[in-house]
Amino acid sequence: MTSQSPAPAAALTGRISGGPSELLHEEVLAPQFRFESRHLLHHYVAIEKTLAAEYARMGLLDTDEAHAVAALLDGVGPDTLSARPDANMSDIAFAIERHVEAGLARPAVRWHVDRSRNDLQACAQLMFGRERLIAFAGVLAELGEVVVQLAEETRELPMPGYTHFQAAQIITPGFHLTALSEHLLHTQRRLLAAYDGIDACPLGAGAMAGQELPWDRVRMARLLGFDRPQSNALTAVASRRWSAEATAELSLLGAALSRFTTDLLSWGGSEYGFIELPDELSGISSAMPQKKNYPVLERIRGRTAHLTAFHTDVLLGQRNTPFCNLVEVSKEAGTHVLAAFDSAHGTVRLLTEVLRRLTFRAERMREVCEREFLGGFSLANALTLTEDVPWRTAQVIAGKYIVRAVAAGAPPHPGVPELLVEAAAEHSVTLTAPGRLLADAFDVRRGLERLASQGSARPEAVAEALRVQRAAYAEVRTAWERRAEAVRAGAAETDRALGLTAPAGPAVDAVRTQEATAGSPEGAVRAKAGDR
């Protein structure tokens, strides 16, 4: 059921004589209205309540008027508004305005004076972006927790590491997953930086040049949970850099996740056989009964491509446009921002479930480690460090030994000392303990133990890295919670100012006193939101 004034759309302006055409309504305005009603309406309501509180502060609305406006705003929902070309020009801002006007017992003459839709829309869209960033950070944190847990469980399982698609050195799944976790933390920090960079309130900028009434923009920013007001009125209404920056971060994350997922796809193939997923996350072939496929991994990797496409769409929608409020930028360029967040959200959830249910086949991984000559680098090092063979010569000797051993069908461990002696003799090198060199160099367990540098695949080094990462995840979670709390605190303060909740108690009064003495107005806002 709707509650709106039946006055014609022409009553909204003297510049044109009627509302939009049926075609414009059907193709552009109604879809936009549905989207904003579903995803931005609560932000529009929060903004309108903040503005009502400001009207009351400036004495343009009395207490009863401000309370009445706010109460009607709280009753606004998707089912109370509809896109009507004849009454509200199929515009959600006009629909809210008419809904409130129709519900007031008497007109609030000064309500909506000195106002523009430009900063209203920019503010609602930015609040939507902040909300999505906070929500996405939550699912990313869950993925990080699962990755760290799996890394801890597998940090001592030897597996072959690959360079140039060739088996190269002995690592562990835990070591590989720690690298993924490091990237997730990096993304979290970049998202926090992006959030803080755009956490500037556009409200009070007006159409483009500022407004004529003494709006307290610092207070409005605080009530809406922002860190500060946007300092330049033109930037406030013209820039949509938040959408470009947010989708850029999603695109970069997608590129990284696609690479890690490619490793999972390889490891899950029959030639590797390193991992296994439960049946409920697997697929089959309709023709080949021997196959157990993992199409969920293909889905994950395929979805990451969309993230780059969405970012490119945002950029193309903004380039070559004048720097002003423009529907092309504010609406069309942001068409797929929600899809970008939804796609990233779903992709991360799928990968989280995969890693939560995935198991590594330890025996199969060890088998490959024992089959491949992964200790070649260690053998060359040992020739130099224990036999005083020049480094490049040691590399050549080690390579020649491996060629001979492969030709003889000899396994890497314990090795064939006679073949190493032959290879060394070709370079006039006499070895004192060739058997010990080979046994140590190609021992799988020793392949991990001998790694001494920080950040290596040595299980103890991985354990230390995970300890540091857990602490970093805790810091990131706290940082995101501070930002979410700033939004909640602003909404609560707005309701108190409008008489919609009980007055503040001594604890809240103490916070206000602290804010008032925090120095600059911008500092007061930061004190409210917490140190960033």
Name the nearest CA neighbour of 224 among 97, 441, 52: 52
The answer to whether the CB of 383 falls within 8 A of the CB of 437 is yes
In this prediction, residue 7 carries a pLDDT of 66
Judged against a pLDDT cut of 60, whether residue 2 lies above it is answered with: no
List of residues 6+ apart from 136 with CB closer than 8 A: 191, 250, 341, 344, 345, 348
Q: Which domains does the chain show, CATH number per domain?
A: 22-113 (no CATH), 118-366+469-497 (1.20.200.10), 373-450 (1.10.40)
Give the residue carrying structure tokens 């006009």: 94
User: Which helix (H) or strand (E) segment is 345 a member of?
Assistant: helix 337-357
Over the stretch 504-523, which tens digit does the pLDDT of each residue have? Answer: 443 334 334 333 333 333 33
Q: What is the pTM of this model?
A: 0.88
pLDDT (mean) for 218-228:
97
Length of the chain: 532
Average of pLDDT values for 483-501? 94
Question: pLDDT-derived band of residue 9, with 50, 70 and 90 as boundaries?
Answer: low
Reading the block at residue 214, the tokens are 């003494």
Map residue 140 onto helix, strand or coil. Answer: helix
- At 76-94, the pLDDT tens digits run 999 999 999 888 888 999 9
**Mean pLDDT confidence for 206-232:** 96
SS (H, E, C) 410-461: CCCCCCCHHHHHHHHHCCCCCCCCHHHHHHHHCCHHHHHHCCCCCCCCCHHH
Backbone φ, ψ for residue 294 (5° rounding): -125, 65
Q: How confident is the model at residue 224 (pLDDT cuts 50, 70, 90)?
A: very high
The alpha carbon torsion through 255, 258, 263, 267 (nearest 10 deg) reads 180
Residue 269 has pLDDT above 70, yes or no: yes
**Per-residue pLDDT tens for 38-55?**
999 999 999 999 999 999
Spatial neighbors of 226 by CB under 8 A, at least 6 apart, are 199, 200, 201, 486, 490, 525
pLDDT at 228: 97
Give the chain's largest Cα–Cα span.
Answer: 105
